[in-house]
Amino acid sequence: MSTDILGVIAMFLLTVAIGLPLGKYIARVYKGERTWLDFMAPVERLFFRVSGIDASREMTWKQSMVALLSINLIWFFWAMFLLMTQSHHPFWNPDGNPSMSPDLAFNTAVSFLVNCNLQHYSGETGLSYLSQLGVMTFLQFVTAGTGMAACAIVFNAMRNRSTEHLGNFFDYFMKSCTRILLPISMVVAVIIAMEGTPMTFEGKDTITTLQGAEQQVSRGPAAAMVAIKQVGTNGGGFFGVNSSHPLENPTYLSNMVENIVIILIPIALAFALGFYLERKRLGWMVFGAMTAGFLMLLTTTVYFEMNGNPAISNMGIDQRLGSLEGKEMRLGAAASGMWATSTTVTSNGSVNAMHDSLTPLSGMNTMIGMMINSFYGGVGVGFLNFFVFIIIAVFISGLMVGRTPEFLGKKVEAREVKIAIMIALLHPFLILSGTALAAYVYVQDPTVGWLNNPSFHGFSEMLYEYTSASANNGSGFEGLGDNTPFWNITTGIVLALSRYLPIIGPVAIAGIMARKRYIPESAGTLKTDTGTFGLMVFFVIWIVSALAFFPSLVLGPIAEYFTIY
């Protein structure tokens, strides 16, 4: 077997092997049990005391959501402020990069605030180091913490009892940051720094190459930022081309580490659910359904990338190493396919190869990953999306067997199902209406010059951009000329809608269900921790997504496939 494929298998197995104990640890953190990171407790207590927050006060789901939105609002203003004043930053701007235009600052602030990290700028020329750390790194920590806190609230709501008290948002948020995200990020940052990722406050270096030309090389405090961008499924790179940049991702080892942590916490959270509720089989059901979807996308993507572009094979050259346009030789086609899948099934969106240059069906797979957005999904929010599909699956199964649908001893009634369906349909609505609007504008005035590729692939570029925005992913078919007011504003709006509603929806469902009477399991209960139910959820996900997205995929990647195969 080729060493490229062995690398991919090793990455996946390592992730699961680390994810299982990490899931156990996360469950302990959210339950408030003792962990070996309890030495962080004084820091957390100090923060809460100074802020005047009583972290032991339990909140209702509505109070939690108010707290979530309030703190997010403050982060938004902080980000806008830093981005629009970059040219005046008193320190950490050695390259003298300029301030952002208002529409670009809006897009960037929203995009990082919602954990999406869509980037319509290039890090080397568009950001000061102060912004890289003050906006990007900061938001990459706290927004990941926000998503995980929302997830913890839902976990809490699923316990066997009737209550309105669902923990304290600030407590979950802070612990997610200090006990989970921070330690993992530190380990990753140190490893990639050793591998050669820069961590310096020096500006660009100018060097005379061997051939005698001048070459400028951008540097910066990259290692610290790259670590959390991967760990928190954020994905916004330090350099313009993200982790395909040889300083951001210098070796195969750094690539393995960065790729593993993309899916590590999302996988760990599936297990954490099982440990938290003491229903390990349920955790395995969630992990199993997610993994089945992930592996389907992974194997086909790796296969197509390793087989190369047939249009280039026809030219008679040696394409044994796969399709290499937009890829890096230290990583290879297989590891690029692995990353492309990992980054799109989660809401990460970092890249180690240019997705615009992927072969057509791999490009489609990356879009499917984002359209479904719950085959692992982003930290915290991935499980929330999956939870919505569980509710729908419970409802449909209930109808099929003629019983009142129940999930974990709570009745699933009309209001919960309505919310779930609205959240499930919001995603296709935002993607398809955005794409339709952009396609319309383009057809009316082809001189807007957005597209880097003609024909079907050009359509894919627009479809991908809204899919990425709505999935809070942040990767792109980067040929799209997206730093224009049209794209900055429309994707900014999609970003905001597609972040907060899909958090509030599932939390509301969970909050409403938590209040209901607990019905002990009986012979008539639909078992939700079985393989059969896992399969049911899996099919519900595919049916909802296929109905919504298949026509648009036919117009883009599938049509392109038939032009070159």
Contact with other proteins (CB under 8 A) among 36, 42, 90, 208: 208
Name which of 381, 347, 345, 427 is nearest 145 in CA terms: 381
Q: How far apart are CA 439 and CA 466, in angstroms?
A: 12
| Window of 111-119, 245-253, 276-284, 380-388 that interacts with other proteins by CB under 8 A | 245-253
| Residues 442-461 close enough to bind other proteins by CB under 8 A | 452-457, 460
Q: How far apart are CA 101 and CA 81, in angstroms?
A: 12
| Residues 101-120 close enough to bind other proteins by CB under 8 A | none
Q: How far apart are CA 357 and CA 327, in angstroms?
A: 9
Contact with other proteins (CB under 8 A) among 85, 160, 163, 307: 163
Determine if 380 is a binding residue for other proteins (CB under 8 A). Answer: no
Contact with other proteins (CB under 8 A) among 182, 231, 264, 368: 182
Please name the residue that has the structure tokens 């995009």: 111
For residue 199, give the DSSP letter. Answer: B
Between 26 and 65, how does the x/- string for binding to other proteins read (CB under 8 A)? -----------------x---xx-xxxx---xxxx-xx--
| Window of 215-223, 278-286, 422-430, 494-502 that interacts with other proteins by CB under 8 A | 215-223
Nearer to other proteins among residue 81 and residue 440 (C-beta): 81
Amino acid (1-letter code) at residue 334: A
Element (H, E) at 361: helix 360-372
Between 294 and 323, how does the x/- string for binding to other proteins read (CB under 8 A)? --------------xx-xx--xxxxxxxxx
| Window of 26-34, 258-266, 288-296, 332-340 that interacts with other proteins by CB under 8 A | 332-340
Alpha-carbon torsion angle 162, 165, 169, 171, nearest 10: -110
| Residues 500-529 close enough to bind other proteins by CB under 8 A | 512, 515-517
Contact with other proteins (CB under 8 A) among 20, 225, 432, 510: 225
**Could you tell me the sign of the dihedral formed by the alpha carbons of 257, 204, 326, 213, in that order?**
negative
Contact with other proteins (CB under 8 A) among 329, 401, 414, 523: 329
- Sequence length of the chain is 565
The burial class, CB within 10 Å (0-12 / 13-18 / 19+), for 258 is buried
The radius of gyration of the chain's CA atoms, rounded to the nearest angstrom, is: 23
3-state secondary structure of 208: strand
| Residues 339-378 close enough to bind other proteins by CB under 8 A | 351-354, 356-360, 363
For the bound state, the minimum distance from the C-beta of residue 374 to other proteins, rounded and expressed in Å, comes to 26
